[in-house]
Amino acid sequence: MATTDLAALAKKASEAAYVPYSHFRVGAVLESSDGRLFTGCNIENISFGLTNCAERTAIFKAISEGVREFKSLTIYGETKDPISPCGACRQVLSEFCPPEMSVTLLSSDLTAKTMTLGELLPYRFTDLD
């Protein structure tokens, strides 16, 4: 899907955000290699640490449907500059998505910054030994 369409979809996904505590909406669209689209929004909880970010909502939806190959991620935030995704989401994404995958970060006015997942999370945790 075209970058501008993914941006519009990420913004649209943010409208479903459940954010009674931060009032900060985030939307994400994860595109699988076969062209399927998985949207996500942030879902907060009164026990704040249980909040799920938009990016993890999107990837958990895809993984739970058996999808394992991805080609792009687009993230929209109500931010002045393109949103910088949290470290927890970077690590979760790097479990399933290749370092060369394209990630587009968007601000509230849809200014875009595109990079690879490897650039977003260099030197990811990978060794258990």
Q: Is 16 one of the binding residues for ligand THU (CB under 6 A)?
A: no
**Rounded CA separation 108/44 (Å):** 20
Site for ligand THU contains 60 (CB under 6 A): no
Residue of 39, 42, 74, 94 that binds ligand THU (CB under 6 A): 42
* Backbone phi and psi for residue 4, each to the nearest 5 degrees, phi listed first: -70, -35
Sheet architecture: strand order including 70-77: 37-41, 26-32, 70-77, 102-106, 112-116
What are the catalytic residues?
Answer: 55
* Among the listed residues 53, 73, 101, 106, the single contact to ligand THU using CB under 6 A: 53
The rounded distance, in Å, linking the Cα atoms of 12 and 68 is 24
Q: Which of 58, 89, 101, 121 binds ligand THU (CB under 6 A)?
A: 89
By CB under 6 A, name the binding residues for ligand THU: 19, 22, 24, 26, 42, 44, 51, 53-55, 83, 85-86, 89
